[in-house]
Structure 1
Amino acid sequence: MEKKASFHAKLPNEDQWHEVYKKLGAEIKIRHYSPKTHKAYSIWTRKFQHFMKNKAPDLLTVEDVKAFLTSLAVESKVSASSQNQAFNALLFFFRHCLGREFGKVDGVVRAKRKPYIPVVLSRQEVDLIIGKLRYPYDLVVKFLYGCGLRLGECMNIRINNFNLDAGVLTIHDGKGKKDRTLPLPEVILPEIHRQFDAVRLLHRQDLDQGIAGAFMFDSIEKKYKNAGREFHWQWFFPAKDLTWVPDAGEYRRAHLHDRHVQKAIKSVVQRAQLTKRATAHTFRHSFASHLLQANYDIRTIQELLGHSDIRTTMIYTHTVKSRTIKKTKSPLDIDPSEMK
């Protein structure tokens, strides 16, 4: 660590920060964190750099972090979740890029956590939106709502995530690097089979044209060089157009872009003139709330959503009406037989 510090000390501050960002990217890649995490951590690190007026990385202290986090709450008035994300980003930055531990971070003004109740669509509203969406966006929403998926999880589904014989879908490396298995909605099984046929046809065309196949994880690509050309590794929702990879000098097939799905949903919601603001994530909220309405156990819903903390799932108890009591009564007014 001393050698790294002395090496950095010889560089101008800008060059030191350039090295830090290279290190940040490498450390995130080693741990197989998502591109979104890389982007978020890079953004917060740059904001911290700007706040510290380009101070040399080796001279940064925990007190600097405290000042930055307090500034986010007091001056920038960021949400509690944003402040927590900034804290996690800087914790990673100090630990893995600077080789230093935080220690205690006391005395930070915490951003206020506002009570949040998610927007939930009725089943009729869900059906209305699906009915107005064109292929493949209608099928995407059926997975978002029918399986309670995050949009990123849905876009990353590959053919080998399905076990049609058992009627289940396995989500690999969801948020928090947790795998989970979900029941496939039986009502859309015919559409799933048709999508398999469409992907199979597109895959054959790609092979005939010499396309390098689907984009793959680096670890899989190194171990199985031709994995991207195998059918079971193809995206379930492939992009319409191919992507040119300059470094490799080849075309690859990516999955359908998140932004295209969001745009399609936004357009339909506006045309349907719904009074609610609905996004792709709204269907996941609706999935959880409708299961709760159907008297599913909260722990079961937690597992289906992939929440590590039951408190995250408990928020959906505020989106449905209580069925346990119609009117508040004094215990003296309740028939003893109702308490058994």
Structure 2
Amino acid sequence: MEQTSKPKKLLDQYRDSIRLKQYSFRTEKTYITWVREYILFHSKRHPREMGVIEINQFITHLVVDRKASASTQNQAISAILFLYNNTLHIELDKSSLNFIRPKRGKRVPNVLSVSEVRTIITHMTGVHKLMTQIMYGSGLRLMECLRLRVKDFDFENHRIIVYDGKGGDDRITMLPDSILAPLREHLARTKAIHQKDLANGHGSVHMPFALDKKYPTAHKEWIWQYAFPHHLKPRPQHRNCASSSYS
């Protein structure tokens, strides 16, 4: 007797829709959080049973009761509209939505001077200091630094290759001479931990874009390991992103 598989829950379907669009993991987490709050606000009613009226009520709640900022409102609106457009495939009458996407106010950025940055870095130690030096010297965003793999460092040409950065773009940036030595030392320590993990049957990382199918053993190779595994949380439903000693 054949067993029919259970249909996926709504949030799992929603997660699949987001990943099909190749949104970032942080966007995925944020969108799921807002859809969950939207459902809970309406006493766990299924979104199919709701529509424009309920969306208006929820956004009004965010504005009036929670005093949500413009960026927070926009996140919630985008998450809910994505649910109806891409997961439920329900065409909403957007002319009946009584909210207007708020515009974020312009703010003057607080930029540290070179001497201020040097002072901060001078008072840092260990891997956090190295990561800060890389971000400052190479112009990397936080998550770009956290997701660097060993193979992304080109010591010979003094450069870092950033894959799948903001907007899904790849780019090349400089690898400052001042951090070559401490970076080599850090990678040597990390490699020793990785080799120990391999000996214990661990040491596997998530492979992007289903490369684990094309290269089935690459997930344990040194060049594919994360440079800073201790600071990177694994993405759910994937291989563990860090060696066991760092988990």
Name the SS for the 1:136 alignment partner: helix
Indicate the residue corresponding to 1:81 in structure 2: 71
- 2:106 equivalent to 1:115: yes
Against the structure 1 CA distance between its residues 254 and 141, is the aligned structure 2 distance closer, same or farther, given a 3 Å change threshold? farther
- 2:176 equivalent to 1:185: yes
Question: How far does residue 136 in structure 1 lie from its aligned partner after superposition?
Answer: 0.7
Please list every run of 5 or more consecutive structure 1 residues that lacks an aligned counterpart in the other structure: 1-15, 258-340
Question: How far does residue 234 in structure 1 lie from its aligned partner after superposition?
Answer: 0.9
> Which residue of the other structure, out of 225, 245, 248, is the alignment partner of 2:216?
225
Against the structure 1 CA distance between its residues 187 and 255, is the aligned structure 2 distance closer, same or farther, given a 3 Å change threshold? farther
Question: How far does residue 103 in structure 1 lie from its aligned partner after superposition?
Answer: 5.4
Higher relative contact order (CA 8 A, sep 6+): 1
Question: How far does residue 232 in structure 1 lie from its aligned partner after superposition?
Answer: 1.0
Letter in 2 for 1:192: L
Indicate the residue corresponding to 2:243 in structure 1: 253
Q: TM (normalized to structure 1)?
A: 0.61
> Which residue of the other structure, out of 44, 54, 65, is the alignment partner of 2:55?
65
Letter in 2 for 1:71: H
Against the structure 1 CA distance between its residues 189 and 223, is the aligned structure 2 distance closer, same or farther, given a 3 Å change threshold? same
- 2:83 equivalent to 1:93: yes
- 2:208 equivalent to 1:198: no
Against the structure 1 CA distance between its residues 201 and 41, is the aligned structure 2 distance closer, same or farther, given a 3 Å change threshold? same
Indicate the residue corresponding to 2:4 in structure 1: none
Indicate the residue corresponding to 1:45 in structure 2: 35
Against the structure 1 CA distance between its residues 221 and 101, is the aligned structure 2 distance closer, same or farther, given a 3 Å change threshold? farther
- 2:133 equivalent to 1:142: yes
Name the SS for the 1:77 alignment partner: coil
Q: Percent identity?
A: 32
Against the structure 1 CA distance between its residues 157 and 38, is the aligned structure 2 distance closer, same or farther, given a 3 Å change threshold? same
Question: How far does residue 46 in structure 1 lie from its aligned partner after superposition?
Answer: 1.5
Letter in 2 for 1:90: I
Against the structure 1 CA distance between its residues 225 and 26, is the aligned structure 2 distance closer, same or farther, given a 3 Å change threshold? same
Structure 2 CA distance for aligned equivalents of residues 67 and 124 of structure 1: 50
Q: Write the deviation string for residues 51-91 of structure 1: whole angstroms up to 9, x where unpaired.
A: 33333322222343233334323332211111111122112
Structure 2 CA distance for aligned equivalents of residues 100 and 114 of structure 1: 32
Instruction: Judge conservation of contact 1:74–1:109 (CA < 8 Å) in 2.
Output: no
Count of paired positions: 239
Letter in 2 for 1:148: G
Q: Write the deviation string for residues 22-64 of structure 1: whole angstroms up to 9, x where unpaired.
A: 2112223444433322221111101211333333322222343
Structure 2 CA distance for aligned equivalents of residues 82 and 58 of structure 1: 24
Question: How far does residue 211 in structure 1 lie from its aligned partner after superposition?
Answer: 1.7
Structure 1 CA distance for aligned equivalents of residues 103 and 63 of structure 2: 8
Coordinate RMSD, CA, aligned: 3.4
Name the SS for the 2:228 alignment partner: coil
Instruction: Judge conservation of contact 2:207–2:219 (CA < 8 Å) in 1.
Output: yes
Against the structure 1 CA distance between its residues 135 and 86, is the aligned structure 2 distance closer, same or farther, given a 3 Å change threshold? same
Q: TM (normalized to structure 2)?
A: 0.81
Against the structure 1 CA distance between its residues 238 and 112, is the aligned structure 2 distance closer, same or farther, given a 3 Å change threshold? closer
Name the SS for the 1:239 alignment partner: helix
> Which residue of the other structure, out of 36, 44, 57, is the alignment partner of 2:26?
36
Instruction: Judge conservation of contact 2:164–2:170 (CA < 8 Å) in 1.
Output: yes
- 2:200 equivalent to 1:209: yes
Instruction: Judge conservation of contact 1:237–1:256 (CA < 8 Å) in 2.
Output: no
Question: How far does residue 102 in structure 1 lie from its aligned partner after superposition?
Answer: 4.0
Larger-Rg structure? 1
Against the structure 1 CA distance between its residues 220 and 113, is the aligned structure 2 distance closer, same or farther, given a 3 Å change threshold? same
Indicate the residue corresponding to 2:150 in structure 1: 159
Please list every run of 5 or more consecutive structure 2 residues that lacks an aligned counterpart in the other structure: 1-6
Structure 2 CA distance for aligned equivalents of residues 68 and 119 of structure 1: 34
Question: How far does residue 251 in structure 1 lie from its aligned partner after superposition?
Answer: 10
Q: Write the deviation string for residues 163-203 of structure 1: whole angstroms up to 9, x where unpaired.
A: 22332212212233222221222222222232332333333
Letter in 2 for 1:228: H
